[in-house]
């Protein structure tokens, strides 16, 4: 499926925030566990120096991909465009636009599609993250 990658602008912030909010309902995230307020989220976004690209398909926002200055990648698509190879190709294109020596991705062990995506791009597993949640 054809798509366009373009740099994020301030008009895209609400789209990104809403997409993250929907994603957090799946319980597949390991990097964003609690969604802060819109203002706090984008303040942290800017502090992390994220380079973000919006994925456009058929003149509509289909998702976004990003990479931090340290090389951590992230990718999110709307449900309508999942499973069509767009995320994999968009990440591949983003890596060409943001050349670094090393990249990494933090993937939930239950997120099979995401695991397959990074493996297909040549990433190799380096470890497993364990979590313990204390209820107060």
Write the DSSP string, 55-66.
Answer: EEETTEEEEEEE
Q: Which domain holds residue 67?
A: 4-120
pLDDT of residue 25: 79
Q: Is residue 132 part of a domain?
A: no
3-state SS, residue 29: coil
Q: Is residue 127 part of a domain?
A: no
Q: Is residue 22 part of a domain?
A: yes
Tell me the pLDDT tens digit for each residue of 76-127.
Answer: 999 999 999 999 999 999 999 999 999 999 988 888 999 999 999 999 999 8
In total, how many domains does the chain have?
A: 1
Mean pLDDT of 60-66: 97
Residue with the two structure tokens 């990433």: 123
Q: Is residue 84 part of a domain?
A: yes
CATH number for the domain spanning 108: value is 3.40.630.30
pLDDT of residue 29: 60
Q: Is residue 126 part of a domain?
A: no
Q: Is residue 128 part of a domain?
A: no
């Amino acid at each position: 499926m054809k798509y366009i990658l373009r740099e994020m602008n301030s008009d895209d912030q609400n789209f990104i925030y809403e997409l993250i909010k929907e994603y957090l309902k799946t319980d597949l995230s390991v990097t964003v566990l609690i969604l802060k307020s819109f203002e706090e989220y984008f303040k942290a976004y800017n502090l992390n120096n994220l380079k973000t690209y919006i994925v456009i398909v058929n003149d509509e926002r289909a998702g976004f991909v990003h990479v931090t200055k340290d090389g951590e990648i992230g990718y999110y698509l709307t449900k309508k465009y999942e499973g069509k190879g767009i995320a994999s190709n968009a990440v591949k294109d983003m890596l060409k636009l943001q050349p670094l020596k090393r990249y990494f991705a933090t993937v939930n062990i239950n997120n099979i599609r995401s695991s397959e995506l990074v493996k297909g791009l040549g990433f190799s597993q380096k470890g497993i993250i364990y979590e313990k949640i204390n209820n107060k």
